[in-house]
Amino acid sequence: MAFSTMIKQLREERGLSQKDVAEYLGITRQAIASYELAKREPDYDILHKLADFFGVSADYLLGRSGCRDKNAVTVGKNIDLIKGDRTYEELSQDISQKLGTLIFPEMLELYAKGERMPFIGTIKILAKYAQVRDSFFYRYNTVESYEREKKLYSIEVSQEKLAETSEETGFILEHVKDKELIMWLTKESSIPYILLAKQIEESGLTPEALKPLIDSINNSQKNK
């Protein structure tokens, strides 16, 4: 759809007059009429003000995107960023293998091209897969900013895991007298082992049941 037809359609959908739009933009009604008659084209600033006014992306106004959501193009470019050199089929398969969730390759391609806006739940899945925060998808990014975002995400996940275990760890610290053990329990690198111990307990296994296996591993290492 041509730009002239697009802005006229958006204006009429909202029941607005050319004067209403012109007053918001700070230009004349005649200028809006010229845009709708394809006699003039807006400059960069007016184009983006129009996009903000109608709540769509500039690419949608220009006919470059079939999705009205103003975030669609930005989200799409970030999906292509995490895709890298892979195909959409390969990206879909990798997401499925790592998260057990299927996003069809055809949908990933539509998202990447800005033709469809992913639901919030889909963005959360993509964020978890890419190891970034949801907000990552709504702003411009580069390979470098993607790497920085993954580091921030890793820190946040570690802090969340630490918070999950802090209450139980606090109780343990009150009852443990061994200083070396206390130091080990408070180290961030010990979190995976603490979480594993919790899983073992929840599975019904006892420490005594695992001790022969640990002894066997220790003996094997000593004999190397």
Distance CA 6, CA 212 (A): 73
Distance CA 22, CA 30 (A): 8
**Structure confidence at residue 106 (pLDDT):** 96
**Structure confidence at residue 167 (pLDDT):** 58
DSSP H helices, the chain, are: 3-13, 18-25, 29-36, 44-54, 58-61, 72-83, 88-99, 105-112, 120-130, 143-175, 179-185, 191-203, 207-222
Mean pLDDT in residue range 185-210: 80
Nearest in space to 24 (alpha carbons), one of 42, 46, 2: 46
Look over the chain and give the mean of its residue pLDDT values, rounded to a whole number: 86
pLDDT bin (cut points 50, 70, 90) of residue 210 is confident
Quick one: what percent of the chain has pLDDT higher than 70?
Answer: 90
Segment 14-53, tens digit of pLDDT: 899 999 999 999 999 999 999 999 999 999 999 989 988 8
pLDDT for residue 169 is more than 60: no
pTM for the predicted model, two decimal places: 0.56
Q: Which residues pair with 56 in a beta bridge?
A: 69
**How far lies 18's CA from each of 2, 49, 50, 205, in Å?**
18, 15, 12, 73
Distance CA 132, CA 126 (A): 9
Segment 53-84, tens digit of pLDDT: 888 888 888 888 777 887 888 999 999 999 99
* CB contact at 8 A, 62 and 5: no
Show the domains of the chain with their CATH numbers: 3-61 (1.10.260.40), 72-138 (1.10.260.40), 151-222 (no CATH)
